[in-house]
Copies of this chain bind each other. A is one copy, B any other.
Amino acid sequence: MPKGQPIAVPDDGLTTRQRRNRPLVMVHTGDGKGKSTAAFGVGIRGWNRGWKVGVFQFVKSAKWRIGEQTVLERPGSLHEETGEGGPVEWHKMGSGWSRTRKHGDDVDHATAAVEGWQEIKRRLAEETHDLLILDEFTYPMKWGWVDVDDVVATLRDRPGFQHVIITGRNADPRLIEVADPVTEMTKVKHPMDAGQKGQKGIEW
């Protein structure tokens, strides 16, 4: 992680403090591991600072990643029990948060993604969260389910002070343009290549 002086100071009329305190759109992309895990790590750090954290998972089956959910839900329940940290909401596409019915096929997945995005737009407009994690949200964009220009314009024009992290492979260049920081996780070696499947505690 970088530390110290910036490489260049922009001529944007902002003080360092104003610039430091700008809300961010962060993207974790690439074929490697750690995209979501690092995003949830930022989420836990935000929880620790009392932020209202919302996680929105755009995955068909989140069963195999239940460990991640438990880990951020525990801080959320600590908040409810003791007031410690901030509130955490964790939503999975197609499980209610997008106000859709039960989905069974690809068409409905597309519908669920669109309705999920509409819900996120409402939340951004209402400034419901301090940090929104749109997990694997690059896929509905890539598949054409969600309009990339709409996403980019919504993120660019969002009110107040809302950090957004988007994870997933194949991030659209228009999303990368509006985002900062963008990190690419590249797989150098992975046990899957050597016939090893994921395991408990490490992958989920």
Contact = CB atoms under 8 A, between A and B. Distances in A.
Contacts of A201: 42, 45-46, 48-49, 51, 131, 163
B183 A20 contact: no
Contacts of A192: 2, 6-7
A189 B183 CA distance: 7
A119 to B, nearest CB: 24
Nearest to A67: B45
B45 A38 contact: no
B193 A16 contact: no
Interface residue range, chain A: 35 or more
A35 B38 CA distance: 8
Nearest to A40: B41
Interface stretch (A21-29, A105-113, A141-149): A21-29
Contacts of A36: 1
A175 to B, nearest CB: 11
Number of copies: 2
Given A2-B190, A40-B41, A67-B49, A20 B184 contact: no
A176 interface: yes
B184 A7 contact: no
Interface string A168-184: 00000000100111111
Contact of A180 (B41, B78, B189, B200): B189
B188 A185 contact: no
A42 B190 CA distance: 16
B42 A70 contact: no
A180 B191 contact: yes
9 contacts: A1-B65, A16-B197, A21-B199, A22-B191, A28-B34, A33-B38, A42-B202, A46-B201, A180-B190
